[in-house]
Amino acid sequence: MEFGIVGLGRMGANLALAAVEKGIRVVGFDPATKEELRKEGVELSTDINELAKLLHPPRIVFLYVPAGPIVDRVLAELVDVLDKGDVIVDGGNSHFRDSQVRQRRLSGHGIGYVDCGTSGGLEGARWGACFMVGGETSPVKIVEPILKTLAVPEGYIHVDQPGAGHFAKLVHNGIEFGMLQAIGEGFALLAKSEYEIDIGALFHTWAHGSVIRGWLVELMERGLAKKKSVADVSSYVEDTGEVNWLIEEALRMEVAIPVISLSVMALFRSRDVDNDAAKAVAIMRHEFGGHPFGRDEAVARERKSGKVGLVE
């Protein structure tokens, strides 16, 4: 098995390393130099044209680039160098409506398009991810063996037609926001209580057998062990804005999602006031995704440009 990958940032690089360790040949391209990946067995190309030449048909090319116009720029370059029967897998957090349009456009060139929601954070990309894909059966079947190899056991699903993978990931991210906020508010209550509670030890206990046990609880414990105190953690929580799209879609469908909606409002509030719940959310987000502490201009730009709003 082999595939190309455009975008060797934190997610793309970790996925490439995981693939190489599992015996999958990987040819990568990124405008930034990634020589450390070459030492680990990832073949590096100088541009997208060379990347295509180094792969055997039917070529499979993964995209791990930020949602928005950059996706369309890369797709335009790939259309010029790929052939009918090749498949592009968009592993980023693109808007599912944009993914539907992209699939139809690429179909006109005979190139398959699979929208692939990827979950599990940086650790998942490195050691076993969770994939939810959308797309027509034929291109999905071509990439399925690779995705199943890179996924944790039972961590792969073909959700439905084009756009469904990114829609499922969008709902996933909304659920994630609600869970993060609930854990953060619990932390704030513990921090302000009259008791001298070892909060890290309590989260450790909760991670073992409690009803709320899970990875986010474990990440809260791990983050607290690193930080010792949240006093120096900024309560300004950055995000790339995908869950805003989910609220828009819920309004369109007239589906009530009060918890998810309020979690986004709480995130906005974190940017105006200093509060422990927001600091807890920031700690967990940093642990699973390497998200920044405090304000980050690059992330803010991505949030404002992530949805393309493509039309045909």
Identify the pLDDT of residue 307.
Answer: 65
Which residue is catalytic, options 34, 43, 169, 218?
169
Does residue 176 carry a catalytic annotation?
A: yes
pLDDT-above-70 percentage for the chain: 97
4-8, 14-18, 249-253, 303-307: least confident range: 303-307
Which residue is catalytic, options 176, 238, 242, 249?
176
Query: What average pLDDT does the segment 142-168 reach?
Result: 98
Spatial contact of 163 and 134, defined as CB atoms under 8 Å apart: yes
Looking at 128-192, list the stretches that DSSP marks H as alpha helix, in order from N- to C-terminal side.
137-150, 164-192
Does residue 141 carry a catalytic annotation?
A: no
3-state secondary structure of 236: coil
3-state secondary structure of 109: coil
How far apart (Å, rounded) are the C-alpha atoms in residues 302 and 297?
A: 9
Instruction: Kindly list the domain boundaries of the chain, sorted by start residue.
Output: 2-161, 168-305
Q: Who's near 193: CB < 8 A, 6+ residues apart?
A: none
pLDDT tens per residue across span 20-70? 999 999 999 999 878 899 999 999 999 999 999 999 999 999 999 998 899
Q: Who's near 278: CB < 8 A, 6+ residues apart?
A: 184, 235, 236, 237, 266, 267, 269, 270
Q: Just give the CATH number of 168-305.
A: 1.10.1040.10
Q: Quick one: tokens of 248?
A: 């828009």
Q: Just give the CATH number of 2-161.
A: 3.40.50.720
Cα 27 from chain centroid (whole Å): 21
- Reported as a pLDDT band with limits 50, 70 and 90, residue 221 is very high
Identify the pLDDT of residue 305.
Answer: 72
Query: What's the pTM?
Result: 0.86
